Structure 1
Amino acid sequence: MDWGRLLYAVAWIGLPVGMGVQLLYNPPQDPRLYLAYPFFGLLFAWGLLQGPKWAPRILTHALGAYLLFEAWRAGDDYFVVAFWSPTLYLLAAFAYPLPLALAAGAFWGGLLVLLPLLRGQGGFPFGHYAAAQPILLALTLLLARFQEYYGQVRFWREQALTCPLTGLPNRRALEMALEREAARVERGERPFSLVLLDLDDFKKVNDERGHPEGDWLLKEVARYLKDHVRQGDLVGRWGGEEFAILLPATDSLRAERQAERLREGLKALGVTASFGVAGYRGDLQDLFRRADEALYRAKAQGKDRVVRSTSEGSG
C-alpha cells in the first residue's frame, strides 16, 4: 500500500467531508445559506489546482473565511470550528515564511476568537476555545519550522558526506562506515575487507580529452561499481580517481575475488584500474596502510591488476 497517496487523499477529501458533516449535523435554518457551500467548494477546488506554490496560500484564506462562516452560523456551538483550526494554521505555516505565517494565522485565529465576543457568546467554553487558538498556532508553526530545519540539516549532512560529482559517499562517509564496521567486529561479528582502486592513466584522459570527459568517466565508473557490488557493500569515492569499497563480513581472499570480477567488468567497458585489497585485523590505520600499499604494488607491477596485501593470511 502506498501510504503517501492514501494520506494525501484523506487530507484533501477531508475538506468536502467536513463540509458534509457540518451540513448533516447542523443544517442551515436559512435556505439561502446553502449557496455558500458550493461557493466554498469551488474556491477550495480552484485553490488546489494552483499548484504546490500557490495552493497553500489560497487555501489558508479560503479555509479561514469558511471557518469564520461556520462559527458565525453555528451560534452557541461556535467552538466546533476548533476541531478544524489546526488545518488553517498548518496551511499558513507551509504557505508563508515564518513572520507572514504568524500574521496570517493570527489574523484568522483572531477573527475566530473575536466573533463569539461580538455576538455576546463569551461564556463556557469560550475560555478554552480562545486559549486553544494561539497555542495551536504556535505549536503548528514550531512543527513546520522543525521540519524545515531538519530538512536543512539533512541536506547539509548529505552534502558533507557525499561526492557531488558521482553521488557516492565521500572519504569521510567511508571512514565513518569503516568505524561502525570495526565496532561490529569488536562485538564478535565477522571481519570485513577494504578494496582501494585507482583508474589507470586517468591524467591522460583529462589531458587529451578534457576534464568534462574525465568527469563523465568517473560517473560511469561510479555507476558500474555501485551496480555490481553485493547488497550491503558500500562503494565510495576515496579521492581524485580513486574509489574504495567496503565489504562487510568478507575475508581478504573473497574480497580479492570480488575485486577481480570488478576489474574484468571495468575492462570490458574500456576502463582499466589497479586494485589493492586488505582485510581488517583490529586496527583501521593499519587497514588503510596495507590496502594502499597493495594498490601501490598493483601500479608498480604494470597496472590493470588486483593485489592482496602480502601480510594477509590464506583466508
Structure 2
Amino acid sequence: MDRMARLLYGVAWLGFPLAMALQLLYLPPEGPLLWAYALFALLCLAALKRGPRGAPRLLVHALGAYLLFELWRAGAWWPVVGFWSPALYLLAAFAHAPPWALRLGGLWALALALAPLAYGREVGFFYGHFALSQAVLLALTLLLARFRELHGQVRFWREKALTCPLTGLPNRRALEREAARVDRGERPFSLVLLDLDDFKRWNDERGHPEGDLLLKEVARFLVAQVRQGDLVGRWGGEKFALLLPATGPREALAIAQRLRQGLRALGITGSFGVAAYRGDLQDLYRRADEALYRAKALGKDQVVLAD
C-alpha cells in the first residue's frame, strides 16, 4: 500500500478499539459481559493479522455480531449503533463481490432493522430513521462497490492495452500490476532486469530498423526461454524485466545465467540484475537496478545478485 492507503487503513483500525473504549467508559459492563468484549477484541485482532485483503471477510461478521450485541446492551442509547452500521456494509462490499455482497449486507441490514423490535426497544421517531437508513446505507454502499468494480474492469483493459507496440510485451505499468497480484497472494518472487550491452553502437552501425528487429528477437527469445507463469516485460529502451513468481534469489540467479548465455547466440550480450522481493516494490526495483549497473561496471555480460 502507498502512504495514504496506510494512513487510512490505520485510522480505520484505530476507530474500532476507540469506539469499544467509549462504550466501556460510558456504559460500563458488569460481570460476564466483559468476556463478550474480550471475544470481539480477539476477533478483531485475528482479522487484522489477515491483512487488508483477508480482514473484511472475518471482520464483517465480528462487527455485525458486535452491533447486535450493543443494540441489546445499550438500552435507551441503542440508536448510536446507527452511526457504525455503514462500516458493516462497506466491509461486506470489500469482502465479497456482487451478488454475495448484496446477500451478506442484506442479511445484516435486516438483522439490525429487526433487532430493536426483538429487544423490545421503543418504536418511534428514532426507530423509523434507524430502520430506513439501513436499507439506504446498504444500497449506497453496494452502488459504490459496483462503481469500484466497473472502474477496476476499465483499468484492467486499459492496462492490457498498455503494451509495447514494438515487442508486444507488457510495459512497466503492466508489470507493476502483476507484481501487486503476486504480492497479494503472499508468494515470494524475484525480479530480473536485463539491459542489452552496447545497443546504441548496434543501432549506430546497423541502423534503427535492425535495432528494432533485434529487440523483437530478444523478446521472442526471452518469452520462449522462461517458465510457464513467468512474466517478461519491456522496461523501456533496450531494457527488459522478468517477474519470476514463487522463485527465490538463487533460482532466479540460475535462470538469469542461462538467459545470459543464450543471448550470445543472437549476436549480442546482456547485463543482468537480480533481486528478491522483500515487501516493498520500490525497494525491489531499486535493488535490481543497482545490481544491473554493478553488472555493467564489472565489464558487461554479467549477472549480479542484489544484496
| TM class, shorter-length | 0.5 to 0.7
Query: 1:90·1:140 contact (CA, 8 Å) conserved in 2?
Result: yes
State the Cα distance separating 1:137 from its structure 2 match: 0.6
TM-score by length of 1: 0.55
SS of residue paired to 2:125: coil
- Alignment deviations for residues 207-243 of structure 1 (CA, whole Å, 9 cap, x no partner): 8x89315999994762559xxxxxxxxxxxxxxxxxx
State the Cα distance separating 1:26 from its structure 2 match: 2.1
TM-score by length of 2: 0.57
Within a 5 Å distance, the mapping from 1:2-13 to structure 2 comes to 2-13=3-14
Distance 2:124 2:236 in 1: 72
Query: 2:70·2:81 contact (CA, 8 Å) conserved in 1?
Result: yes
Query: 1:166·1:222 contact (CA, 8 Å) conserved in 2?
Result: no
Within a 5 Å distance, the mapping from 1:77-116 to structure 2 comes to 77-116=77-116
SS of residue paired to 1:57: helix
Distance 1:77 1:155 in 2: 46
Query: 2:215·2:238 contact (CA, 8 Å) conserved in 1?
Result: no
Question: Letter of the aligned partner of 2:142 in structure 1?
Answer: L
Distance 2:73 2:34 in 1: 11
% identical equivalent positions: 49
Distance 2:219 2:5 in 1: 45
State the Cα distance separating 1:38 from its structure 2 match: 1.0
Cross-structure match for 2:291: none
- Alignment deviations for residues 47-68 of structure 1 (CA, whole Å, 9 cap, x no partner): 2223444321111101000000
State the Cα distance separating 1:205 from its structure 2 match: 8.1
* Rg larger for: 1
Distance 1:210 1:157 in 2: 22
Alignment of 1:222 onto 2:237: yes
Query: 1:109·1:133 contact (CA, 8 Å) conserved in 2?
Result: yes
Alpha-carbon spacing, 1:218–1:57, altered in 2? closer, same or farther (3 Å): closer
Within a 5 Å distance, the mapping from 1:9-20 to structure 2 comes to 9-20=10-21
State the Cα distance separating 1:166 from its structure 2 match: 5.0
Within a 5 Å distance, the mapping from 1:1-315 to structure 2 comes to 2-28=3-29, 30-121=30-121, 122-163=123-164, 165-167=169-171, 198-200=208-210, 203=213, 211-212=220-221, 219=234, 222=237
Question: Letter of the aligned partner of 2:220 in structure 1?
Answer: H
Cross-structure match for 1:172: none
Specify every segment of 5 or more residues in structure 2 that has no aligned partner in the other structure, as ranges: 174-206, 226-231, 241-267, 271-307
- Alignment deviations for residues 280-299 of structure 1 (CA, whole Å, 9 cap, x no partner): xxxxxxxxxxxxxxxxxxxx
SS of residue paired to 1:91: helix
State the Cα distance separating 1:157 from its structure 2 match: 1.8
Specify every segment of 5 or more residues in structure 1 that has no aligned partner in the other structure, as ranges: 170-196, 226-268, 272-315
Distance 2:80 2:221 in 1: 63
Distance 2:133 2:78 in 1: 14
RMSD: 3.3
